């Protein structure tokens, strides 16, 4: 039996890469470059990409074993327990949404207000979020082909600008093989993980492909492409523009485009930033609103989030709530101007999730040893153990270098833990009380009575 509509490998790669490519990725790329000496950011980026391959292998095994759109919610609940799964899933959604929306909206507003100085930056955020919220409320989705075109065009533009910039400086790099001390390199790799945030969000598509292995292949190809593209573009940025200028700018990609291609390059890059941010906001709202809806349906979030539009079949309360969360995250980021902390926060959270993915593989190999695995990581426990160890180290490295990120993540953890231990049991109790007293399913006649 074959499903009517199946996705191609091209779309799986574009989805994985597309979810990862955000305007804020370039801020992280500059942070990576700033931790190492000379034009050696490529080393940290390639190491970061290679480490994400380890995590991708773990997600591939988990996804093959438990093919579901529920993702980590199911993997972690089977591997550990429901409480751990719930705490991590809620924390992940909260931090990644606030982190990515906060940084993304800050960058976008700065870029657009530079292009159109008469319009206040925050107004741009409101307009963009309204646009994406409106699309989601009406159930309008960007077509798969359109998303493929946007993602592959973005990759092509980055490669073109990157190589053109390097060509302009005669491919002369400043000490490209001497990154400096180990501490700087570890911190660079840790922040570099942010460049790949979201590559695994393609796993919910597992029910739409002909073979589970297509998802793993798609993730690996996307990681390979992204590693090379980010490495080329970041080295081009540091080779052409002084690091201090890049660090001071919320949109270093725009600085590079303007430096090498003048106003034309800047205009093209503004369009690219606009398309990328729209895509990122859209992907975020779709994923998180569906997560909120599903959580409300299993009574771990208030029932109001399961309300759906009678006209468009969309979870409108969840979508509108996300709109306001987005506005708040953007306002706070603009007020404080501290968008860099959000990069650290999201990178640390992502590392924690990858650590748990490694541990989940180990746990499920013991708990579900007899289940068929379409994708089994070779080498026994080596890769999952390495994943858990490496990403623990990277999470510690990010949080140790940014005390604000550590405080925020600790505070968010406490809030979510208290919520899961106090509010969730109450919600479940409330649901049980509302349930019809009798089951709708007719009671079965006792054995032997059926024939009388």
Partner 1 sequence: MATQQEIKESLETFTENYNNNDRLKIMNRDWNRVVVVKATDVDSVHTWVLQDGVLKLKEGEADAPDLTVISDSETLADVFYGDITPIEPYNDGTLRIMGSEDDITRLDFICLMIWGE
- The residues of the shown chain that bind partner 1, judged by CB under 8 A, are 1-5, 66-70, 73-74, 77-78, 141, 204-205, 207-208, 290, 293-294, 297-298, 303, 306, 308, 310-311, 313, 431, 434, 439-442, 444
CB of 174 to partner 1, least distance (A): 46
State how far the Cα of 16 lies from the Cα of 26, in Å rounded to an integer.
18
Alpha helices in 169-251 (DSSP H): 182-192, 213-240, 243-248
3-state secondary structure of 417: helix
CA geometry: angle 189, 389, 416, nearest 5 deg: 90
Three-state DSSP state, 161: helix
Mapped onto helix, strand or coil, the DSSP state of residue 179 is coil
Q: CA–CA separation, 63 vs 215, rounded Å? A: 8
Burial 220-258 (b: 16+ CB within 10 A, else e): bbbbebbbbbbbbbbbbbbbbbebeebeebbbbbbbbbb
Alpha carbon separation from 150 to 101, 188, 216, 370 (Å, rounded):
19, 28, 22, 42
Q: Least CB distance from residue 70 to partner 1, whole Å?
A: 5
Task: Determine the Cα–Cα distance for residues 78 and 417; give it in Å rounded to an integer.
Answer: 19
Q: How far is the CB of 93 from partner 1 (least distance, A)?
A: 14
What angle is formed at CA 107 by the lines to CA 101 and CA 112, rounded to 5 degrees?
A: 120
**Which distant-in-sequence residues (6+ apart) come within 8 Å of 341 by Cβ?**
402, 404, 405, 408
DSSP one-letter string for 129-149: HHHHHHHHHTT----HHHHHH
For 155, residues 6+ apart whose C-beta sits below 8 A from its C-beta are 17, 21, 225, 229
Question: Rounded to 10 degrees, what is the CA torsion of 208, 210, 211, 217?
Answer: -70
Nearest to 155 by CA among 31, 24, 276, 278: 276
Cα–Cα distance between 240 and 395 in angstroms, integer? 31
Tokens of residue 232, six digits: 């080329």
- CA distance linking residue 80 with residue 84, whole number of Å: 7
């Amino acid at each position: 039996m074959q499903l009517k509509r199946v996705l191609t490998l091209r779309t799986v790669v574009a989805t994985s890469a597309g979810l990862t490519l955000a305007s804020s990725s370039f801020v992280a790329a500059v942070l990576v470059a700033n931790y190492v000496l000379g034009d050696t950011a490529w080393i940290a980026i390639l190491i970061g990409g290679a480490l994400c391959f380890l995590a991708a292998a773990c997600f591939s095994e988990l996804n093959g074993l438990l093919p579901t759109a529920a993702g980590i919610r199911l993997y972690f609940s089977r591997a550990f327990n429901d409480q751990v799964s719930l705490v991590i899933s809620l924390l992940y959604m909260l931090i990644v949404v606030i982190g990515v929306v906060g940084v993304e909206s800050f960058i976008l507003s700065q870029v657009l207000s530079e292009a159109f100085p008469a319009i206040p930056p925050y107004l741009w955020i409101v307009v963009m979020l309204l646009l994406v919220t409106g699309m989601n409320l009406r159930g309008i989705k960007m077509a798969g082909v359109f998303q493929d075109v946007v993602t592959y065009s973005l990759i092509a533009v980055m490669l073109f600008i990157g190589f053109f910039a390097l060509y302009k400086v005669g491919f002369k790099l400043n000490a490209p093989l001497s990154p400096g001390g180990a501490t700087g390199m570890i911190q660079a790799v840790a922040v570099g993980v942010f460049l790949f945030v979201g590559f695994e969000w393609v796993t919910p598509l597992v029910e739409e492909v002909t073979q589970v292995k297509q998802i793993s292949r798609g993730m690996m190809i996307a990681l390979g492409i992204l590693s090379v593209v980010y490495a080329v573009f970041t080295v081009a940025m540091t080779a052409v523009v002084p690091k201090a200028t890049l660090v001071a700018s919320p949109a270093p990609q725009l600085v590079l485009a303007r430096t090498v291609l003048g106003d034309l390059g800047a205009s093209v890059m503004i369009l690219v930033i606009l398309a990328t941010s729209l895509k990122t906001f859209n992907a975020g709202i779709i994923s998180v609103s569906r997560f909120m809806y599903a959580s409300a349906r299993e009574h771990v979030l208030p029932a109001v989030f399961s309300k759906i539009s009678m006209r468009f079949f969309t979870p409108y309360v969840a979508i509108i709530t996300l709109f306001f969360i987005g506005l708040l995250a953007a306002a706070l980021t603009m007020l404080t101007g501290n968008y860099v902390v959000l990069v650290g926060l999201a990178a640390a959270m992502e590392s924690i999730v990858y650590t748990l993915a490694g541990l989940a593989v180990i746990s499920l190999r013991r708990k579900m040893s007899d289940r068929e695995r379409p994708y089994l990581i070779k080498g026994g426990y080596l890769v999952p153990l390495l994943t858990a160890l490496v990403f623990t180290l990277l999470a510690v490295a990010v949080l140790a270098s940014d005390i604000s990120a550590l405080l925020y993540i600790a505070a968010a953890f406490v809030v979510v833990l208290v919520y899961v231990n106090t509010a969730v049991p109450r919600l479940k109790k409330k649901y049980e009380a509302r349930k019809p007293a009798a089951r709708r399913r007719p009671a079965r006649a006792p054995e032997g009575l059926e024939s009388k």
